[in-house]
């Protein structure tokens, strides 16, 4: 009798413990570079916004944990024989966080909204392959003329201007994410506020406290909610990489999407596999303002670029987690051959410096008549150390550098608003593996990303020609001509190719290194 009572009590205690474990909220503390400037997917432009939006919304296609394209709201799709009409079949159990069904009409509304000029989408041109998209975005045609059509609630048809081999990849970008039409109609731009927020992804927004965190909780109406292990995600702005590392070591962060380069050796020794370095499809560069009187001279731009010791930056400043970059399109990208490298790539560094000095002297500058420039960079010890090193490399040429540091949000707003600057630090991470996604940035009409204010009709014509070319080999040759022109004119000075750095706790599973460095929270789990 006593044994039976003890057994019963033990069983009850085990059941209670199991119940409490099952009920325990799983919380993911995620370091995420900076506060989002916006959570409007049609106005976004940064990687750290994409990390959040990718959790809150689901497009026609989505990313797997390995960074591969997988079905999202669309279960499958087909392409017409001429390569210009996609038909997407939507899942019938896709719902918004308020329980409304996700329909083909929602995607029509969303795609028309991003192309409407009044929306002010900085990234609208990524979807220009859609028929009439550019004309709509420039106000020459009505949104209703965009090549998107809801055949019925679960069938969406998208017509393209011409065959575009990477189009489905484009739809995984945050600009391809849908908005909830009724919420946008009711609240306008305030649809992004937590109290108004309706999303269709694995999570929904519940709180945004600037300089503190963004908080998202699991969306019970998400079609795959049963396989989402994490209940709540906190995204913290971690511009100070050193502070983020300390928080990670203290167990306050499960992951962080960057790390202080000056502590790479320490992290490799102390953190082991928790410090992740992987190849990344991106380029770290300096934008040169072509409207500046001195920088408008191609010899000055070439001299500044030639004299930079990129190997030193990559190895000594960035601790070997970056690779010296002599082209804007990173090597290994899809639908391309060899990148168009700078013709001084293999010159001895001393010879390059001598040539740079000669070019500057011919332009009227030198130690006796210094060229005075300012470098703008966003808050980060990594960016600061890079700027200081480059300033030292330019000093023997008679170039005097001053520096302006602002937070990330202010820095990129300055660039997009076309405020005055000389040289500005920036970086670009590929949204899809195709050279067009890099070279399109300096087309004359790309006011959102052409920070250099570069205008070259010949370059624009090559990009237009490439867009109309179906043969991938011929198209690659045209894009290479464009990159050669880019490297001659230097709207941007490529410095390094990125390697992604992540801090990942051993409590986290489902975090897979990949070329795009995309890590949707829905695939992860946290051990308590």
Cα torsion 429, 431, 434, 440: sign:
negative
Q: What is the pTM of this model?
A: 0.80
In 10 A of CB 207, how many CB atoms?
A: 13
Between 1 and 211, where is the model more confident? 211
Between 110 and 420, where is the model more confident? 110
Cα torsion 299, 304, 305, 309: sign:
positive
Across the chain, mean pLDDT equals 93
Query: Do 482 and 462 contact (CB within 8 A), yes or no?
Result: yes
Rounded mean pLDDT, 96-101: 98
Looking at residue 122, its pLDDT comes to 87
Cα angle, residue 119 at apex, residues 113 and 129 outer, rounded to 5°: 55
Q: Is the pLDDT of residue 17 over 80?
A: no
Rounded mean pLDDT, 492-508: 97
Q: Is the pLDDT of residue 19 over 60?
A: no
Q: Is the pLDDT of residue 441 over 60?
A: yes
pLDDT band at 23 (very low <50, low <70, confident <90, very high): low
Looking at residue 1, its pLDDT comes to 39
pLDDT tens digits, one per residue of 389-417: 999 999 999 999 999 999 998 999 999 88
For residue 394 the two structure tokens come to: 């330019």
From CA 6, how far away is CA 15, in angstroms rounded? Answer: 14
Helix (H) or strand (E) holding 427, with range, is strand 423-429
For residue 366 the two structure tokens come to: 């030198």
Place of tokens 């994490």: 230
Q: What is the DSSP string of 262-321?
A: GGHHHHHHHTGGGEEEEEEEEEEEEEE-TTSTTTTSHHHHHHHHHT--HHHIIIIISTTS
pLDDT tens digits, one per residue of 209-221: 999 999 999 999 9
Between 284 and 123, where is the model more confident? 284
Nearest in space to 221 (alpha carbons), one of 304, 331, 100: 100
From CA 166, how far away is CA 273, in angstroms rounded? Answer: 34
Length of the chain: 528
From CA 461, how far away is CA 451, in angstroms rounded? Answer: 20
Q: Is 347 exposed, middle or buried (0-12, 13-18, 19+ CB in 10 A)?
A: middle
Q: Is the pLDDT of residue 11 over 60?
A: no
Q: What percent of the chain has pLDDT over 70?
A: 96
Dump strand ranges (E) for 289-420: 323-324, 371-378, 399-406
SS (H, E, C) 135-166: HHHCCCCCHHHCCEEEEECCEEEEEECCCCCC
Looking at residue 213, its pLDDT comes to 98
Place of tokens 């490439």: 466
């Amino acid at each position: 009798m006593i044994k039976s009572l003890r057994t019963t009590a033990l069983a009850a205690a085990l059941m209670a413990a199991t119940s409490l474990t099952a009920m325990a909220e799983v919380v993911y503390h995620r370091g995420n570079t900076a506060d989002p400037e916006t959570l409007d997917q049609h106005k976004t432009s940064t990687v750290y916004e994409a990390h959040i939006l990718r959790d809150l919304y689901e497009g026609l296609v989505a990313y797997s944990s390995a960074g591969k394209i997988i079905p999202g709201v669309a279960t499958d799709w087909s392409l017409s024989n001429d390569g210009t009409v996609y038909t997407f079949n939507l899942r019938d159990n896709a719902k918004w966080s308020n329980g409304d069904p996700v329909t083909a009409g929602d995607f029509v509304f969303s795609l028309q909204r991003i192309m409407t000029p009044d929306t002010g989408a900085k990234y609208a041109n990524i979807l220009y392959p859609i028929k009439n998209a550019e004309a709509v975005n420039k106000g020459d045609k009505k949104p209703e003329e965009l090549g998107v059509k809801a055949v019925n609630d679960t069938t969406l048809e998208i017509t393209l201007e011409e065959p575009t081999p990477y189009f489905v990849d484009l739809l995984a970008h945050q600009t391809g994410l849908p908005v909830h039409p009724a919420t946008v109609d009711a609240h306008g731009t305030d649809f992004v506020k937590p109290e108004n927020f309706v999303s269709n992804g694995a999570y929904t927004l519940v709180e945004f406290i600037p300089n503190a965190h963004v908080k998202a909780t699991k969306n019970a109406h998400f079609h795959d909610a049963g396989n989402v292990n994490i209940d709540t995600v906190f995204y913290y702005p971690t511009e100070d990489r050193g502070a983020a590392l300390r928080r990670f070591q203290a167990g306050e962060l499960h992951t962080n999407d960057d790390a202080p380069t000056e502590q790479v050796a320490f992290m490799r020794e102390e953190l082991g596999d928790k410090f992740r370095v992987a190849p990344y499809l991106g380029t770290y560069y300096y934008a040169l303002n072509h409207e500046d009187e001195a920088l408008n001279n191609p010899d000055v731009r070439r001299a500044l670029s030639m004299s930079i010791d990129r190997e030193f930056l990559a190895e000594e400043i960035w601790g070997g987690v970056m690779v010296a970059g002599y082209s804007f399109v990173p090597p290994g990208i899809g639908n391309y051959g060899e990148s168009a490298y700078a013709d001084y790539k293999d010159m001895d560094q001393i010879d390059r410096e001598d040539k740079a000095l000669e070019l500057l002297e011919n332009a009227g500058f030198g130690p006796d008549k210094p060229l005075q420039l300012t470098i703008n960079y966003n808050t980060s010890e990594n960016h600061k150390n890079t700027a200081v090193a480059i300033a030292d490399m330019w000093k023997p040429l008679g170039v005097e550098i001053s520096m302006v540091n602002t937070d990330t949000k202010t820095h990129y707003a300055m660039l997009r608003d076309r405020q005055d600057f000389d040289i500005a630090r920036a970086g670009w991470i590929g949204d899809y593996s195709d050279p067009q996604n890099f070279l399109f940035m300096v087309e004359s009409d790309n006011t959102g990303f052409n920070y250099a204010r570069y205008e070259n009709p010949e370059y624009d014509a090559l990009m237009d020609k490439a867009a109309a070319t179906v043969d991938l080999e011929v198209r690659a040759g045209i894009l290479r001509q464009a990159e050669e022109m880019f490297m001659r004119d230097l709207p941007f000075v490529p410095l390094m190719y990125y390697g992604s750095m992540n801090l990942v706790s051993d409590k986290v599973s489902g975090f897979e290194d990949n070329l795009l460095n995309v890590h949707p929270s829905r695939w992860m789990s946290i051990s308590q």
